[in-house]
Amino acid sequence: MQEGRIIKSLSGFYTVSNQNGTYECKGRGVFRKRKVTPLVGDIVQFELDENEEGYIKEIESRKNELVRPPIANVNQAITVSSAKEPDFSTKLLDRFLVLIESIGIQPIILISKTDLANEEELYKLEKFKKDYRNIGYEIQLVSKNNVEDAKLIRDYLPNQITVIAGQSGVGKSSLLNAVLPSLNLKTSDVSSSLGRGKHTTRHVELLNINGGLVADTPGFSSLNFDKIEQEELTDFFPEMKEIKNQCKFRGCMHDKEPKCAVKQAVEQENITTYRYEHYLEFLTEIRSRKPRY
């Protein structure tokens, strides 16, 4: 029996890697009976038969797992937003950040295509950069296919399992191609009628880049809060989590309650108005969700 990590999944076959090499493996039928699917990123126990064909016997417990893309044991997510085409949206970024925070993954924010932005737009982006840095987020503004920017991204990768997240068309594959040109990942222009990228990554694979493993993921077409309860939402806004115990009422939702430390921080401009407004929108969305039985 050997131990390794699944680095690729395609049509029921799993590529497992360890210090001895890479092996094509099948999952055992017992997983189907248990309704467990091996995921890219899983640490697994596997056996080789006399033909060097591998069979996954056991899946080690996971630190975390994503549904889209289906991947496990992620350390960090580089969330890519574009300055233009599609236009930068703090609400969409905050939606990504809440989802990333909710599964215990470290977020890093990249705003790409800054070379397409005009002076006024760049000024606004620099202000947003300052806002998110004040919260404690790592954030960088990068231009398309810039070699220096590629080096900057490479520094985040060693010894990490990294997911590249972001809506279609923001330049995820372009950034990875700049980091490692030999990848030659397919990219397409943004469809002007749809405002989203024409290409979607077809399978899940961890790519070995600069001493770390990186997943090039599909653009997220759906970003819902199905697994987040309203009582948890504050914890996924770090600047609110930090002061929530200063509210007068325990379990304060920072909505209509009096003597709320979060609302006071917004009034004093210690929490940005747009982040608080997004919190309220997300809270309403979670509250209006159909109950699960």
Is-contact 7 22, C-beta < 8 A? yes
Rg of the chain, C-alpha, whole Å: 21
CA distances to 4, 140, 145, 180 from 150, in Å: 29, 11, 7, 8
- CB burial string 245-283: b at 16+ within 10 A, e below: eebeeeebbbeeeeebbbbebbeeeebbeebbebbeebb
Nearest to 225 by CA among 284, 286, 277, 275: 286
- One pLDDT digit (tens) per residue for the chain, 293 residues: 899 999 999 888 999 999 999 999 988 777 777 888 899 999 999 999 888 789 999 999 999 988 777 889 999 998 888 898 888 999 999 999 999 999 899 999 999 889 899 999 999 999 999 999 999 999 999 886 555 677 778 889 999 999 888 777 666 777 777 777 766 666 654 333 333 344 444 578 898 888 999 886 554 545 788 889 999 999 999 999 999 999 999 899 999 999 999 999 999 999 999 999 999 999 999 999 876 65
- Do the strands 71-72 and 212-216 form a parallel or antiparallel pair, or are they unpaired? unpaired
Is-contact 173 165, C-beta < 8 A? no
pLDDT at 179: 74
Amino acid identity of residue 213, one-letter, is: L
Nearest to 179 by CA among 157, 203, 206: 157
pTM for this predicted structure: 0.83
Residue 217 tokens read as 């993921």
pLDDT at 148: 66
Element at 12 (helix H, strand E) = none
Provide the CA 268 distance to its chain's centre, in angstroms. Answer: 31
Nearest to 67 by CA among 158, 161, 174, 163: 163
pLDDT at 151: 75
Q: Is 55 helix (H, G, I), strand (E, B) or coil?
A: strand
pLDDT at 222: 56
Please name the residue that has the structure tokens 């360890």: 18
Compute the CA torsion angle 157, 89, 93, 217 (nearest 10 deg).
-50
